Amino acid sequence: MRYNALSILKQGLTGNKGWAPAWREPDPKPEYDIIIVGGGGHGLATAYYLSNKFGMKNIAVVEKGWIGSGNVGRNTTLIRSNYLLEGNQPFYELSMQLWEGLEQDFNYNAMVSQRGILNLYHSDSQRDAFARRGNAMHLTGSGGVMLSEAEIREKCPYLDFDNARFPIKGALWQQRGGTVRHDAVAWGFARGADMKGVDILQNCEVTGFQIDNGVCKGVETSRGTIRAKKVAVCVAGSSGRVMSMAGMRLPIESHVLQAFVSEGLKPTLPGVITFGAGHFYVSQSDKGGLVFGGDIDGYNTYAQRGNLPVVEDVCEGGMALMPMIGRARLLRMWGGLMDMSMDGSPFIDRTHIGGLYFNGGWCYGGFKATPASGFCYAHLLAKDAPHPVATQLRLDRFRRGAPIDEKGAGPQPNLH
Partner 1 sequence: MIIKHPLLGPRDAAEFVYLGDANMIKRPEGFGENVEEAMYEHVYLRENPAGEHHELWYHEQGDRSWLVVTRNTLTHEISSVELARDVARRKGRSK
Partner 2 sequence: MSQSNRIDGGQIDRSRTLKFQFNERWLTAHPGDTLASALLANAVRLVGRSFKYHRPRGIFSAGSEEPSALVQLRKGAALEPNTRATTIEMFEGLSATSQNHRGSLEHDILAVNDLLSPFLSAGFYYKTFMWPKAFWEKLYEPIIRSAAGLGKLSGMEDPDTYDHGYLHCDVVIIGAGPAGLAAALAAGRAGLRVILADEDFRMGGRLNAETYAVDGMDGADWALGVIAELAIMNNVRLMKRTTIYGAYDHGIFGALERMTDHLPDSGDKPRQVLWRIYSKRAILAAGATERSMAFGNNDRPGIMLAGSVRTYVNRFGVAPGRKIAVFTNNDDGLKTAEDLRAKGIDVTRIIDAREGDVVVNTNGRKGLNTIFLNRGRHVEADCLAVSGGWSPNVHLSSHHRGRPEWRDDIAAFVPGGELPPGMVVAGAAAGTMTLAATLAEGHEVATRVATDLGKSGSLATAPRASDEIFATAPIWHVKESKHRAWVDLQNDVTTKDITQSYREGFRSVEHLKRYTTLGMATEQGKTSNMLGLAVMADASGKTIPETGTTIFRPPYSPVAIGAFAGRARGKNFRPTRRTPSHNWANENGASFVEAGMWKRAEWYARPGEKSWRDSVDREVKATRNGVGICDVTTLGKIDIQGHDAAEFINKIYANAFLKLPTGKVRYGLMLREDGTVYDDGTTARLSETHFVMTTTTANAVLVLRNLEFARQCLWPDLDVHLISTTDAWAQFSVAGPKSRALMQKVVDDLDLSNEAFPFMACTTCTVFGGTPARLFRISFSGELAYEIAVPARYGDAMIRAMMAAGEELDLTPYGTEALGVMRIEKGHVAGNELNGQTDARMIGLGNMVSRKKDFIGAALLDRPEQVREDGLQLVGLRPIDQDVILTAGAHFFVEGDPEDMAHDQGWMTSVAYSPELGHSIGLGFLKRGRDRHGERLRAFSPIRGQDVMVEVCSPHHIDPEGDRQRG
Interface residue list for partner 1 (CB under 8 A): 240-241, 244, 249-254, 298-303, 307, 309, 342, 398-399, 411-414
Over the window 153 to 192, marking each residue x when it contacts partner 2 by CB under 8 A and - when it does not, the resulting string is ----xx-x--xxxx-----x--------x-xx--xx----
CB of 365 to partner 2, least distance (A): 18
Interface residue with partner 2 among 38, 43, 73, 371 (CB under 8 A) is 73
Cβ within 8 Å of residue 63, ≥6 positions away = 38, 39, 40, 43, 69, 200, 201, 202, 203, 204
Over the window 201 to 240, marking each residue x when it contacts partner 2 by CB under 8 A and - when it does not, the resulting string is -x--------------------------------------
Interface residue with partner 2 among 40, 68, 365, 413 (CB under 8 A) is 68
Alpha-carbon gap, residue 245 to 268, rounded angstroms: 48
What's CA 97's distance to the chain center, in Å? 15
Which range touches partner 2 (CB under 8 A), out of 28-36, 117-125, 224-232, 355-363? Answer: 117-125
DSSP strand E in 164-212: where? Answer: 170-174, 178-179, 199-201, 206-212
CB of 349 to partner 2, least distance (A): 16
Which range touches partner 2 (CB under 8 A), out of 2-10, 233-241, 249-257, 356-364? Answer: 2-10
Task: Return the SS3 of 289.
Answer: strand
Alpha-carbon gap, residue 344 to 413, rounded angstroms: 7
Sign of CA dihedral 150, 155, 160, 162: positive
Q: Tell me if 400 contacts partner 2 by CB under 8 A.
A: yes
Helical axes 370-383 vs 182-195, angle rounded to 10°:
30
CB of 245 to partner 2, least distance (A): 23
Nearer to partner 2, 179 or 373 (CB): 179
Please give the DSSP secondary-structure letter assigned to residue 269.
Answer: -
Alpha-carbon gap, residue 337 to 47, rounded angstroms: 22
Count of Cβ atoms closer than 10 Å to residue 315 Cβ: 17
List the single partner that 240 binds among partner 2, partner 1, none, CB under 5 to 8 Å by kind. partner 1
Please give the DSSP secondary-structure letter assigned to residue 112.
Answer: -
Q: Tell me if 305 contacts partner 2 by CB under 8 A.
A: yes
List the single partner that 298 binds among partner 2, partner 1, none, CB under 5 to 8 Å by kind. partner 1
Please give the DSSP secondary-structure letter assigned to residue 239.
Answer: H
Exposure of 52 in the CB half-sphere (CA atoms within 13 A): 21
Which range touches partner 2 (CB under 8 A), out of 53-61, 65-73, 246-254, 362-370? Answer: 65-73
Interface residue with partner 2 among 213, 247, 249, 308 (CB under 8 A) is 308
Nearer to partner 2, 152 or 172 (CB): 172
CB of 59 to partner 1, least distance (A): 28
Alpha-carbon gap, residue 198 to 357, rounded angstroms: 18
Burial class (CB in 10 A: 0-12, 13-18, 19+), 344: buried
Please give the DSSP secondary-structure letter assigned to residue 323.
Answer: G
Nearer to partner 2, 31 or 105 (CB): 105
Over the window 333 to 372, marking each residue x when it contacts partner 2 by CB under 8 A and - when it does not, the resulting string is xx--------------------------------------
CB of 225 to partner 2, least distance (A): 25
Over the window 275 to 294, marking each residue x when it contacts partner 2 by CB under 8 A and - when it does not, the resulting string is --xx------xxxx------
List the single partner that 331 binds among partner 2, partner 1, none, CB under 5 to 8 Å by kind. partner 2
> In this structure, are residues 302 and 233 in contact, taking their beta carbons and an 8 Å threshold?
no
Nearer to partner 2, 57 or 287 (CB): 287
Exposure of 215 in the CB half-sphere (CA atoms within 13 A): 6
Nearer to partner 2, 24 or 212 (CB): 24
Pairing status of strand 178-179 against strand 78-79: antiparallel
Please give the DSSP secondary-structure letter assigned to residue 4.
Answer: S
Nearer to partner 1, 251 or 276 (CB): 251
Cβ within 8 Å of residue 16, ≥6 positions away = none
Q: Tell me if 58 contacts partner 2 by CB under 8 A.
A: no
**Count of residues in contact with partner 2, rule CB under 8 A:** 124
Report 252-271 residues binding partner 2 (CB under 8 A): 262-268
